[in-house]
Structure 1
């Protein structure tokens, strides 16, 4: 999506919000044509679609998308992991363009609750990365489309030849949005080795019987510890195995060995 279109949409969103609420992509693109058109990206990959199925509502009536989220992380990362470098994957023009073209219907499905909101800001966040308000890193990690690729990037373990998505399935099995928010709030997350090492340690504790599900406080303990020692220790020079051992030690001291 050209920057001119992004600026127009964000600057005058109230004028366009009814197109999103009414699922009228054709009308929106036609009106926006006065300011320019979506451009074909130079990034090439095979066509793919995302799953649009949701789990049944739980006993308190909330509808979850957990199963589809995990599948969609794998789909989008498999197709684009060798096509996007980190700069391209951090470009709001790419994700805003994809949101308004190939994946319009997916966002209508995944962000149905936001699109019913009477607040234009909520509707805007469904389709446009809120970069100005949150910064590009936080914005890309919470947007319903871009976060799929980044969730794959953070958790895809190339050393696990049997199932490189084992950490993905483990960490995001509870809830993708809240777990991504927890990751993106940490400065060290830019280093994939730190994320992989941390999640290996947490997964190991989980599998050895520390609980039926990964508890948020376990993840927060590990992330807070690494954040704390980051000022005194150059974590960027440690490999994933060394990070895993650090987290093992702090978790054993905090919660006991399992």
Structure 2
């Protein structure tokens, strides 16, 4: 079953963040259960999920993102978007289930860094892409395409190549709309296949373009093809300059 921490226990953990950071996160002096004096602090929800491990094999931890997105999303697909927006669930994984992975991938060097990656310290939407485990689920949710005839994780692989792709393409005003995200990503992937160099500047400008469109039109009502065509045309204009 998928795990969680109760609201009361989560608040108590945050109120004792100094002990949490020094004894649990920055070192292995104590487990979360030992530090909280509660061996039942990690509880089961009624949401099914198989037990699984995360990849920690690469010298550069960011190179494991693609594989770990696939593992988290595959094994936790039973989560709804509402459930996957719940800090209580992801805190159980950052602080306990995948505590070793969090040290490997994010190696927090301060209480502030811990709060930013282990909890929801930003706006509700932005926190989903800053929390060390939630981000893996949401990247998979927004980029995995069950309707593709080929590699269903092709868009996922493209996003995971660079941290900038995640920040610029998923953490936007329309980042929770899979139709928009998939159309934008497909336009980028196809442009790259056709010889266009997709650098940070083009990605940033395309992200800005989508946000500008949202200020003029009801973008959420646009079809996949409309978004794809607009992005493709925008990329052609950028490449011709």
Query: Above 0.5 in TM-score?
Result: yes
Counterpart residue number, 1:3: 7
Counterpart residue number, 2:111: 120
Counterpart residue number, 2:28: 23
Output the CA distance in 2 between the equivalents of 1:125 and 1:91. Answer: 15
Q: 1:34 to 1:52 in 2, by over 3 A?
A: closer
Counterpart residue number, 1:74: 70
Q: How does 1:153-192 map to 2 (within 5 A)?
A: 153-175=141-163, 178-192=164-178
For each residue in 1:38-85, what CA deviation from the matched residue of structure 2 results, as whole angstroms up to 9, or x when unmatched? Answer: 211211122111101224xxxxxxxx324311100111111122x011
Counterpart residue number, 1:227: 211
Counterpart residue number, 1:106: 101
Q: Are positions 1:240 and 2:195 aligned together?
A: no
The number of residue pairs the alignment matches comes to 236
Tell me the secondary structure at the aligned position of residue 28 of structure 2: coil
Output the CA distance in 2 between the equivalents of 1:34 and 1:200. Answer: 47
Counterpart residue number, 1:194: 180
Output the CA distance in 2 between the equivalents of 1:127 and 1:225. Answer: 32
* Shift, 1:25, TM fit: 4.2
* Shift, 1:231, TM fit: 2.0
Tell me the secondary structure at the aligned position of residue 51 of structure 2: coil
* Shift, 1:244, TM fit: 0.5
For each residue in 1:115-148, what CA deviation from the matched residue of structure 2 results, as whole angstroms up to 9, or x when unmatched? Answer: xx2x321233343232xxx122111211111100
Output the CA distance in 2 between the equivalents of 1:208 and 1:91. Answer: 40
Deviates more, 1:188-197 or 1:231-240: 231-240
In structure 1, runs of 5+ residues without a counterpart are 56-63
Output the CA distance in 2 between the equivalents of 1:10 and 1:109. Answer: 22
Contact 1:92 1:129 in 2 (8 A): yes
Contact 1:200 1:244 in 2 (8 A): yes
* TM-score, normalization by structure 2: 0.90
1:253 to 230, 237, 241: 237
Deviates more, 1:153-162 or 1:200-209: 153-162
In structure 2, runs of 5+ residues without a counterpart are none
Output the CA distance in 2 between the equivalents of 1:74 and 1:41. Answer: 22
